[in-house]
């Protein structure tokens, strides 16, 4: 931490060595986080370069990269990505908000929870996409139906996660709040909601992956909506496996970025704020 500035003549040297150390740290981090991806790429490349699998079944990394570039230039892939992400975030946010609100409102009343919870648990076994025909009949063969399905796919696991989290709030904390006079909406907003945040983070991650699943399935089926699902379906129709692979790659990269940039940070912040063990 302390840099040697006693030899006041060379602040530049100290700065340079600090920069070098910083660069080394970044390099180490990159190696730690990227070695597995590099390994996969090498194996993939070897398999295709040695001709072990025909190219119409598995295109080479270079082909996929080319298709990616092509698709970005000619098929407005970035626009499709943007539409999908927007739909994903909106649907997920709506699903999360509804689930947490339902959990808080009904988790406080055993009669309501006892009635609702088994239905939610049962619905968990029904794939969200099974509701798409219903959504299409109600909202039309359009983006609204897709959005509703995404929100619903988020809602189911998130609502159960919220119930689970509410039951984990320490009883003395609840008693302390009630003894101080907290009641009704104030109690839910200022005690239960913040108390369940750490356990909700897991639910947020889980429901995020459920949102992706339902969104992709719905986009593939509801042709005509712009988005990655539409591009996937098009790739299949014209037998362009490199495009299909390129889209899968994009989804993978988005997944990694979200995990690293959004959820990992959220988790760190919650751990620090809530003083949980293992906080760094």
The residues binding other proteins (CB under 8 A) are 170, 172-173, 175-183, 186-187, 190-191, 194-195, 197, 273-275
Please say which residue, 34 or 173, places its beta carbon nearer to other proteins.
173
Least distance between other proteins and beta carbon 177 (Å):
8
In total, the chain counts a number of residues equal to 280
**How far apart, in whole angstroms, are the C-alpha atoms of residue 26 and residue 30?**
6
Please say which residue, 5 or 172, places its beta carbon nearer to other proteins.
172
Work out the number of other CB atoms within 10 angstroms of the CB of residue 172: 9
Please say which residue, 12 or 170, places its beta carbon nearer to other proteins.
170
* CA angle 120–146–106, rounded 5-degree value: 25
Please say which residue, 129 or 169, places its beta carbon nearer to other proteins.
169
**How far apart, in whole angstroms, are the C-alpha atoms of residue 188 and residue 199?**
16
Please say which residue, 9 or 181, places its beta carbon nearer to other proteins.
181
Least distance between other proteins and beta carbon 108 (Å):
15
Least distance between other proteins and beta carbon 271 (Å):
10
Least distance between other proteins and beta carbon 144 (Å):
37
Using an 8 Å Cβ cutoff, are 122 and 184 in contact? no
Using an 8 Å Cβ cutoff, are 230 and 219 in contact? yes
C-alpha closest to that of 166 among 176, 154, 158, 156: 158
Least distance between other proteins and beta carbon 209 (Å):
26
């Amino acid at each position: 931490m302390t840099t040697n500035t006693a030899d006041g003549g060379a602040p530049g040297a100290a700065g340079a060595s600090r920069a070098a150390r910083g660069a080394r740290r970044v390099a180490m981090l990159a190696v730690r986080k990227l070695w597995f991806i590099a390994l996969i790429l090498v194996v993939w490349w070897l398999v295709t370069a040695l001709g072990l699998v025909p190219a119409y079944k598995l295109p080479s990394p270079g082909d996929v990269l080319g298709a990616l570039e092509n698709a970005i230039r000619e098929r407005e892939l970035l626009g499709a990505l943007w539409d999908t992400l927007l739909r994903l975030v909106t649907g997920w946010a709506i699903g999360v908000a509804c689930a947490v609100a339902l959990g808080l409102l009904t988790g406080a009343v055993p009669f309501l929870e006892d009635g609702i919870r088994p239905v939610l648990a049962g619905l968990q076994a029904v794939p969200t996409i099974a509701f798409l025909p219903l959504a299409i009949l109600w909202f039309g063969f359009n983006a609204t139906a897709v959005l509703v399905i995404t929100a619903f796919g988020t809602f189911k696991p998130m609502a159960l996660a919220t119930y689970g989290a509410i039951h984990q709030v320490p009883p003395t904390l609840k008693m302390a709040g009630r003894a101080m006079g907290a009641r009704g909406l104030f109690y839910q907003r200022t005690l239960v909601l913040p108390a369940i945040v750490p356990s909700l983070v897991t639910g947020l991650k889980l429901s995020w992956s459920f949102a992706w699943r339902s969104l992709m399935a719905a986009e593939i089926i509801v042709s005509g909506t712009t988005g990655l699902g539409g591009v996937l379906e098009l790739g299949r129709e014209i037998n362009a496996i490199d495009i299909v692979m390129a889209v899968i790659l994009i989804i993978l990269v988005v997944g990694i970025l979200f995990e690293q940039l959004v959820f990992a940070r959220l988790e760190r912040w919650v751990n620090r704020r809530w003083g949980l063990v293992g906080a760094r």
